[in-house]
Amino acid sequence: MQNKKTGTLTADQIGQMRAECILPSTMTSFPMNIVRGEMQFVYDDQGKKYLDGFSAVVTISVGHCHPEVTNPMVEQIKTLQHMTTMYYHPNLVRYAEKLASVMPDGLKVSFFTNSGCEANELAALLAKNFTKQTEFIALRHSFHGRTLMAMSMTGQSKWRHSLPYVFGVTHASPGYCYRCPFGLTHPSCKVACAREVEDIIKYGTSGKIAAFIAEPIQGFGGVIDPPREYFEIVYDIVKRYGGIFISDEVQTGFGRTGDKWWGIEQWGVKPDIITMAKGMGNGVPLGGITCTREIAESMREKVHFNTYGGNPVSMAAGLAVLETIERNHYMRNAKAMGDRLHEGFDKLVRNHKIVGEHRGKGLMRGLEIVKDKQSKEVAPQYVQRTMELCKDRGLLIGRGGMAANTIRIKPPFCITKDDADFILKTLDEAFTIIEKT
Ligand SMILES: Cc1ncc(COP(=O)(O)O)c(C=O)c1O
C-alpha cells in the first residue's frame, strides 16, 4: 500500500519495515516521512512544510538541495562517478587547493574520507606518526564518532559501548561554566579547567602526549563553548608536553560559528590538524583532514587509501559548498542571523523559568532546559515536549547534552530574518505551554 500523494511508502509502513530489517539501535527522532527538501525547508509525505532548524543534524550547511551544489554534482555524476585516487582527476586537487586557501595559515595538505569518524581516526594516526607518542587528551562531554578510536576519544558514556577501548585517552574538563565541576565562577576561577590539563598530563599520562583533540563548541555534548581564554591556555600546555592540537570542526566548520571559516578561529588558536565532515558536503558523505606539511610528511612511508575518499562527485560537492558560501556571503549571514537569535534567546532566558541559559556562536546555538533556574535540575522531559510542540508548528529542532536537556538550534546558513523570528516565536510559545501545564 502506497501513499497516494507521493507514491512512496507511508510512515507506518516504513516503521514496520525498519523494525524488521534495520538495526534496532538506529537513532530515530520522530517517525516522520520527510520526502523533499528545498533550502532551509523540508516537506513530509503529506506536503507539510518544516523549517529545518537543525540542518539534518548540522549537515545541510548552505541549504537542502541548494542548486549551486546540486547542479555541479549532477554534471559530475553523469560524466564520471568513481575511479579512486589511484588515478588522477582534477576535482581532487581543485578542491584541496581551494580548501587550503580558506584554512588557517600553514594548514595546506588534505586527505579526504567519507565521514567525521574516519577523519578523526586519521588525525589520531597522523598525531602518533608525527610525535612518536601514543597518548591523547580529549574532553568530557565531547563526541568524535562511532569508530573505536573516535569512541575512545568521545567523552560521554551514552555514546560509548562497553568495549576494550584504545588505551591512552584521558578526558579533561571542557569549560562548562553553567555547571562548573570545580564549583567556581568565571573569570575569578582563572580558568581552572584549562589549567588542570597540565596536571592531567603530569599525573595521568607518561608526561608526553601525541595530541589534544577538541570541538571548538561541543555539539552532541550540548553546545558547550568554553570561556574566551580556555583554548589559548590549553594550547600552550599541549605544546609544552609535545602534543599537537587537533580541532574537530565536524560541526563548527565552514562558517557555522559566523564570520570565520573555522570555529577554533573564534578563540584565536591555530590548530595543527583540522578534521571535518557534515556541512562540508551539504549532505554528501564527505569528510577529511587538513594538516601542516610536516605532519603530512610523517606518514609518507606508509601507503594510505580510502576507497571512496576523494571521489570526483564528493570533490565537486565540496568545492561547490565553499564557492556557494563565498558567493552568497553565508558566513556573514550566519553571524547576522546568529546575533538575531542571540538577542531573542536572551529574552527567552529572562522570560521563562525553564530556560537556564543559552550558549553558542553564529548558527551553532543551544538552550539548556531546567526544571527552574534556582535548582538547575535537568529537564529532558521539557526538551522532548518542546521538540513535539515545535514539530507540530512546522519547526524541527535538535537536542543534546549528557542529560539530553539542551535544545540545539543549528539551521542552514541561508535562513532569513523571518526564519529566525519564527524560531524565536515558536520556542516562546512552546515554553509558555510547558510552563502552564
Ligand atoms: C564533532 C563531531 N565529530 C565527529 C563526528 C562523527 O562524524 P560521522 O558521523 O560523519 O562519522 C560527529 C558526528 O556527529 C561530530 O558531531
Nearest atom, ligand 1, residue 115 CA: 10
Residue 37 CA, chain-centre distance (Å), reads 20
Tell me, using a 6 A CB cutoff, whether residue 117 lines ligand 1.
yes
Ligand 1 centroid to Cα of residue 274, in Å, is: 13
Nearest atom, ligand 1, residue 117 CA: 11
Alpha-carbon gap, residue 413 to 362, rounded angstroms: 9
Ligand 1 centroid to Cα of residue 194, in Å, is: 24
Helix (H, G, I), strand (E, B) or coil at 289: strand
Tell me, using a 6 A CB cutoff, whether residue 143 lines ligand 1.
yes
pLDDT tens sequence across 145-172: 999 999 999 999 999 988 888 899 999 9
Tell me, using a 6 A CB cutoff, whether residue 54 lines ligand 1.
no
Q: What are the cell numbers at 125?
A: 594516526
Q: Give the chain's residues under pLDDT 50.
A: none
Rg (CA), the chain: 22
pLDDT tens sequence across 24-48: 999 888 899 999 999 999 999 999 9
Tell me, using a 6 A CB cutoff, whether residue 248 lines ligand 1.
yes
Please, what's the b/e burial string for 90-112 (b: 16 or more CB within 10 A of its CB; e: otherwise)? ebbeebbeebeebbbeebbbbbb
Domains of the chain (ranges, CATH numbers): 11-62+329-436 (3.90.1150.10), 68-327 (3.40.640.10)
Q: What are the cell numbers at 12?
A: 507506518
How far from 69 is each of 52, 239, 311, 320, CA to CA, in Å?
18, 39, 16, 5
Alpha-carbon gap, residue 308 to 143, rounded angstroms: 24
Please, what's the b/e burial string for 62-73 (b: 16 or more CB within 10 A of its CB; e: otherwise)? bbbebebbbebb
Task: Give the H or E element holding residue 365.
Answer: strand 364-369
Tell me, using a 6 A CB cutoff, whether residue 276 lines ligand 1.
no
Q: What are the cell numbers at 143?
A: 563526541
Return the residue whose CA atom lies nearest to atom 4 of ligand 1: 144
Tell me, using a 6 A CB cutoff, whether residue 220 lines ligand 1.
yes
How far from 422 is each of 37, 341, 385, 418, CA to CA, in Å?
18, 10, 18, 6
Ligand 1 centroid to Cα of residue 117, in Å, is: 6
Residue 2 has a pLDDT of 58
Pairing verdict, β 49-52 and 109-113: unpaired
Residue 253 has a pLDDT of 98
Which residues does 105 contact at the CB level (< 8 Å), separation at least 6?
A: 270
414, 330 contact by CB (below 8 A): yes
CA neighbor of 63 nearest in space, from 326, 324, 376: 324
Tell me, using a 6 A CB cutoff, whether residue 277 lines ligand 1.
yes
Residue 207 CA, chain-centre distance (Å), reads 30
Residue 6 has a pLDDT of 55
In DSSP notation, 48-104 reads -EEEETTHHHHT-SS-BT-HHHHHHHHHHHHH-----TTS--HHHHHHHHHHHHHSP
pLDDT tens sequence across 1-22: 555 555 679 999 999 999 999 9
Alpha-carbon gap, residue 402 to 201, rounded angstroms: 25
Which residues does 252 contact at the CB level (< 8 Å), separation at least 6?
A: 215, 216, 217, 219, 262, 263, 264, 364
Specify the DSSP class assigned to residue 208.
-
Q: How many C-beta neighbours within 10 Å does residue 10 have?
A: 16
Residue 351 has a pLDDT of 98
Return the residue whose CA atom lies nearest to atom 8 of ligand 1: 116
319, 96 contact by CB (below 8 A): no
Peptide bond into 271 cis (omega under 30): no
